[in-house]
């Protein structure tokens, strides 16, 4: 099969334990808590008199950098305290501790904050900061829940933040969190669940609000803070929240999503969209109970082999999906998006070396090009046991969990229909429940298919919007003039479509985490340098001029 081408137009625990914040680092943060911002806002007209937009942004950046120079150790310890709160979406008690802590941190900085709640849903932490005379409102989206963990795979307990001198795999060693007045190395890394995804932006946001208040600098936009607690669980109640509290969100002009990593080259990244996501689980059946492989081998069908053949039929040797119609509904890229792709740094060879890969799927297309296409991934396989626990059996079942990343034009249900049609074409009878004896005796190949209920489509914001140019300019200033990487869509998924397609608002993703942060995996981490960049990014974005881009 030819390689598919991208079409063009036609509060909880008081702090981390053990090694993470032991000894000197166990002290509570000494961060200055800003007084109510409301009093500061009353001084806004006088504060801005005779001041150019460039002056305001430069002052904000100076304030953020001076603040972390003076309070770097306390910023790290405060961040670690937040990381010490377990935050898996299904842990309702832990999630509430996170939400209450975030609300308290907003309120301590003069933000009018509350928990929005719906039956059966994790709370949204909602805050507003209204600036007199501001003509624009920015929505700040972050999520405070994290991925589930397998503690056995972690070097340290996932919610015991630990500071390292370098990456663990590069020989880094654990050290205590620094005491006040001690130097902070920007190459240090904080290891904990959600260090990168997605508590890193919180670790940058709160000290920036403190820094601006300390210098008497006021944001140039109204700010709406919207912190979700179910993103890693599929944002199953997000639409309900947005409909129920629509009046709180209607005046937002631009949504800024602080999520994900910067580019693999280390350069700052702005993303104009995300892929959608859906998935399914497939179980194939052999005998109705495990059988002795010596007594029944070569006679009874082996579910593991059946499943392997089924999965192999879905992709060719180059990694292209063979499911009929899989690429047919991909929405073409526009001219601006194609130019952005062409301008991206060529980093595939470096990535292959870093990841130990001799080949990649879809060659000669680059990673960036492949992210503009839907993907099919085997997320997990199971059929009896392996290693020391393996037995001489023919298992009764074999199961695969598949993930599908979607691009603009793909409908989640339609894509699942295509996969099911392919399974049928391979000779399988599809069931939704455990097959009974009559079904087993009637059909030689049976596949139980369970569809993911929390999928959602892709989303994309036009790259040529004037307000997007302002964000680009702010990010460039935050990065010290370094050239940015602009991409039409992120490879990962966020429920961005609810903001762009349903609410009709532009949305941009402004990541801060390091690309090698082990997002969603064991030993997740955040490089301190990226936390500092996040502070600069907030400072520049919160003081963007009300007009066009700065010269």
Is there a single domain that holds both residue 63 and residue 198?
yes
Residue 20 lies in a domain: no
Is there a single domain that holds both residue 391 and residue 283?
yes
pLDDT of amino acid 454: 77
Domain boundary (424, 451, 478) is at: 451
Is there a single domain that holds both residue 196 and residue 311?
no
Band (pLDDT 50/70/90 cuts) for residue 532 is very high
Nearest to 220 by CA among 296, 138, 98, 309: 138
Asked whether the beta carbons of 537 and 214 are under 8 A apart, the reply is no
Residue 42 lies in a domain: no
Band (pLDDT 50/70/90 cuts) for residue 40 is low
Is there a single domain that holds both residue 66 and residue 151?
yes
Is 538's pLDDT higher than 60?
Answer: yes
Residues with Cβ within 8 Å of residue 322, at least 6 apart in sequence: 1, 313, 314, 315, 316, 422
Is there a single domain that holds both residue 214 and residue 297?
no
* 210-214, 261-265, 293-297: least confidently modelled range: 261-265
Band (pLDDT 50/70/90 cuts) for residue 492 is confident
Is 11's pLDDT higher than 70?
Answer: no
β pairing state of 254-257 and 137-143: parallel
Mean pLDDT calculated for residue range 375-385: 96
Give the residue carrying structure tokens 């060693």.
173
Instruction: Note the pTM of the prediction, 2 decimals.
Output: 0.82
Residue 117 lies in a domain: yes
Residue 43 lies in a domain: no
Quote the CA–CA distance of 437 and 218 in Å, as a whole number: 70
Mean pLDDT calculated for residue range 489-500: 91
Is there a single domain that holds both residue 198 and residue 64?
yes
Is there a single domain that holds both residue 308 and residue 441?
yes
Is there a single domain that holds both residue 124 and residue 221?
yes
Mean pLDDT calculated for residue range 201-215: 98
Residue 434 lies in a domain: yes
Percent of the chain with pLDDT over 70: 89
Residue 26 lies in a domain: no
Mean pLDDT calculated for residue range 258-270: 92
Q: Copy the structure tokens of residue 143.
A: 């999520």
* 381-385, 425-429, 450-454: least confidently modelled range: 450-454
Quote the CA–CA distance of 314 and 308 in Å, as a whole number: 10
Is 1's pLDDT higher than 90?
Answer: no
Q: What is the residue range of 287's domain?
A: 275-329+369-451
Phi then psi dihedrals of residue 515, to 5 deg: -70, -25
Percent of the chain with pLDDT over 90: 85
The domain that holds 289 is classified in CATH as: 3.30.70.360
pLDDT of amino acid 359: 96
**What average pLDDT is seen over the chain?**
91
Q: What is the largest CA-CA distance in the chain?
A: 90
pLDDT of amino acid 147: 96
490's enclosing H/E stretch is strand 490-493
Residue 266 lies in a domain: yes
> What residues are paired with 376 via a beta bridge?
404
Is there a single domain that holds both residue 227 and residue 323?
no
Quote the CA–CA distance of 497 and 456 in Å, as a whole number: 8
Indicate the number of domains in the chain: 2
Is there a single domain that holds both residue 519 and residue 416?
no
Domain boundary (426, 451, 476) is at: 451
The domain that holds 97 is classified in CATH as: 3.40.630.10
Is there a single domain that holds both residue 110 and residue 213?
yes
Band (pLDDT 50/70/90 cuts) for residue 45 is very low
Residue 361 lies in a domain: no
- Write out the DSSP string of 533-548: HHHHHHHHHHT--SSS
Quote the CA–CA distance of 62 and 157 in Å, as a whole number: 37
Domain boundary (411, 426, 451) is at: 451
Band (pLDDT 50/70/90 cuts) for residue 12 is very low
Band (pLDDT 50/70/90 cuts) for residue 547 is low
Is there a single domain that holds both residue 81 and residue 177?
yes
Asked whether the beta carbons of 368 and 489 are under 8 A apart, the reply is no
Question: How many C-beta atoms surround the C-beta of residue 170 within 10 A?
Answer: 10
């Amino acid at each position: 099969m030819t390689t598919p081408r991208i079409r063009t137009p036609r509060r909880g625990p008081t702090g981390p334990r053990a090694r993470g914040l032991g000894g000197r680092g166990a002290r509570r943060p000494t961060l200055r808590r800003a007084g109510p911002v409301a009093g500061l806002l009353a001084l806004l007209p006088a504060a801005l008199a005779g001041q150019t937009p460039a002056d305001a942004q430069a002052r904000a950046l100076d304030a953020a950098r001076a603040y972390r120079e003076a309070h770097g150790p306390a910023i790290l310890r405060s961040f670690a305290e937040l990381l010490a709160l377990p935050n898996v979406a299904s842990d309702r008690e832990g999630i509430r501790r996170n939400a209450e802590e975030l609300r308290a941190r907003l309120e301590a900085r003069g933000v009018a904050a509350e928990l929005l709640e719906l039956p059966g849903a994790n709370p949204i932490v909602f805050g507003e900061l209204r600036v007199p005379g501001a003509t624009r409102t920015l929505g700040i989206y972050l999520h405070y829940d994290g991925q589930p963990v397998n503690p056995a795979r972690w070097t340290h307990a996932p919610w015991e933040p630990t500071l390292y001198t370098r990456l663990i795999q590069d020989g880094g060693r654990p050290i205590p969190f620094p005491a006040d007045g001690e130097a902070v190395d920007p190459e240090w890394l904080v290891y904990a669940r959600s260090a990168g995804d997605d508590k890193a932006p919180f670790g940058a946001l709160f000290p920036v609000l403190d820094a601006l208040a300390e210098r008497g600098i006021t944001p140039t936009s109204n700010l709406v803070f919207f912190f979700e607690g179910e993103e890693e669980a599929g944002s199953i109640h997000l639409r309900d929240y947005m409909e129920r509290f629509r009046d709180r969100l209607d005046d937002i002009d631009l949504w800024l999503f602080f999520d994900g990593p910067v580019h693999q080259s280390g350069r700052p990244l702005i993303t104009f969209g995300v892929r959608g996501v859906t998935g399914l689980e497939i179980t194939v059946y052999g005998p109705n109970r495990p059988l002795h492989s010596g007594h029944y081998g070569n006679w009874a069908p082996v579910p593991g082999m059946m499943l392997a053949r089924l999965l192999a039929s879905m992709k060719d040797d180059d990694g292209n999906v063979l499911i009929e119609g899989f690429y047919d509904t991909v929405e073409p890229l526009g001219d601006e998006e194609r130019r952005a792709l062409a301008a991206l740094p060529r980093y595939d060879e470096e990535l292959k070396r870093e990841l130990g890969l001799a080949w990649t799927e879809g060659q000669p297309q680059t990673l960036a090009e492949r992210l503009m296409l839907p993907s099919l991934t085997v997320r997990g396989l199971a059929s009896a046991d392996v290693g020391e626990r393996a037995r001489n059996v023919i298992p009764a079942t074999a199961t695969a969990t598949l993930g599908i990343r979607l691009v603009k034009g793909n409908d989640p249900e339609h894509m699942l229909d295509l996969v099911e049609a392919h399974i049928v074409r391979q000779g399988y009878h599809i069931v939704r429940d455990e097959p009974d004896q009559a079904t087993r005796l009637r059909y030689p190949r049976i596949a139980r298919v369970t569809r993911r209920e929390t999928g959602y489509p892709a989303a994309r914001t036009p790259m040529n919007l004037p307000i997007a140019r302002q964000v680009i300019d702010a990010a460039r200033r935050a990065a010290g003039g370094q050239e940015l990487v602009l991409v039409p869509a992120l490879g990962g998924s966020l429920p961005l479509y609810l903001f762009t397609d349903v609410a009709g608002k532009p949305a941009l993703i402004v990541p801060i985490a390091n690309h090698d942060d082990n997002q969603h995996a064991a030993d997740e981490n955040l490089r301190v340098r990226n936390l500092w960049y996040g502070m600069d990014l907030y400072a520049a974005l919160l003081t963007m001029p009300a007009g066009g881009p700065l010269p």
